[in-house]
Amino acid sequence: QKEVEQNSGPLSVPEGAIASLNCTYSDRGSQSFFWYRQYSGKSPELIMSIYSNGDKEDGRFTAQLNKASQYVSLLIRDSQPSDSATYLCAVNRGYGQNFVFGPGTRLSVLP
Amino acid sequence: GAVVSQHPSWVICKSGTSVKIECRSLDFQATTMFWYRQFPKQSLMLMATSNEGSKATYEQGVEKDKFLINHASLTLSTLTVTSAHPEDSSFYICSAFGSRAGRWYQETQYFGPGTRLLVL
């Protein structure tokens, strides 16, 4: 089992819909969780972080964490074509710099 | 978010020359920096992990004599591509690991804007 897994994608949603991006992790001791967005030809950009169970909202983005299920998700409400990008899930396992990225999910928002 | 700069953003060079890329953490001290390479339509590929004051740790298949990494201070790491060849043409991205607020659980990677290298 890979340490961090994401939907294989690509994921296509119509403009205005909710995009749901999922991520699971294998190390139950993981402490912190992050979502990055990478536009084609650009470097990744940190868009959300979450540290405790529950939801965290920031504008149209909501991160959800369930440590018991070892699951973290990113919801994008009212998806826009400008949200089309690859989304990377990352997990900090809390000891040293033990930081792992998932393979990424490519999202296409269709106008 | 934290700011990480890279210089240059673009470089074109002749085959056989060496190219140095700088990565700077502008608003926090990064004990660890990472160097990635990304080819078009492919995933990020980690090349090496650089710790301040010590030798870099290279991923399997990355030639340490070709990709020289120096991390001389808590805010600066450099990658030198020695004797560059056309197959080294790629998008090179660095990241700095840390937290602006200094809280360990907020530590994450902050990426520079990347450097496009074209070797003719």
Contact partners, residue B106, CB within 8 Å, separation at least 6: A32, A49, A51, B99, B100
- Residue by residue, DSSP assigns A13-36 as EETTSPEEEEEEES-TT--EEEEE
pLDDT tens, B91-106? 999 999 887 777 776 7
Evaluate if residue A4 carries a pLDDT over 90: yes
Q: How many CB atoms lie within 10 A of CB A106?
A: 17
Q: Determine the pLDDT at residue B27.
A: 85
Q: Which residues of A touch B43 (CB under 8 A)?
A: 103-104
Cβ contact A43–B93 (<8 Å): yes
Q: What pLDDT is stored for residue A97 in this prediction?
A: 57
Q: Count other Cβ atoms within 10 Å, centred on residue B98.
A: 24
Closest chain B residue to A91 measured between Cα atoms? B108
| Low-confidence winner among A17-21, A63-67, B49-53, B101-105 (lowest mean pLDDT) | B101-105
Closest chain B residue to A42 measured between Cα atoms?
B113
pLDDT of the residue at B105: 67
Confidence of residue B30 (pLDDT cuts 50, 70, 90): confident
Q: Do B111 and A44 touch (CB under 8 A)?
A: yes
| Interface mutation vs chain B, best among A34, A43, A72, A106, most B CBs within 10 Å | A43
Is-contact B78 B33, C-beta < 8 A? no
B113 touches chain A (CB under 8 A): yes
Whether residue A43 and residue B104 make contact (CB cut-off 8 A), yes or no, is no
As to burial, measured by CB atoms within 10 angstroms (0-12 exposed, 13-18 middle, 19+ buried), residue B53 is exposed
Assess A26–B contact: CB distance below 8 Å, yes or no. no
Choose among A32, A36, A97: nearest Cβ to B97.
A97
- For residue range A68-100, what is the model confidence (pLDDT) as tens digits? 999 999 999 999 999 999 999 999 887 655 788
B110 touches chain A (CB under 8 A): yes
A11-56 per-position pLDDT tens digit = 999 999 999 999 999 988 888 999 999 999 999 999 999 999 999 9
Max CA distance (Å), chain B: 45
Q: What is the pLDDT of residue B46?
A: 92
Q: Any chain B CB within 8 A of the CB of A102? A: no
CA dihedral A53, A107, A105, B97 (to 10 degrees): -70
CB B94 within 8 A of CB B4: yes
- Residues in chain B with CB shorter than 8 Å from the CB of A5 are none
Of B97, B105, B113, the CB nearest to A99: B97
B96 touches chain A (CB under 8 A): no
Q: Which pLDDT belongs to residue A31?
A: 87
- Per-residue pLDDT, B34: 94
pLDDT of residue A96: 59
Q: List, for residues B60-119, the tens digit of each pLDDT value.
A: 999 999 999 998 888 899 999 999 999 999 999 999 988 777 777 677 899 999 999 999
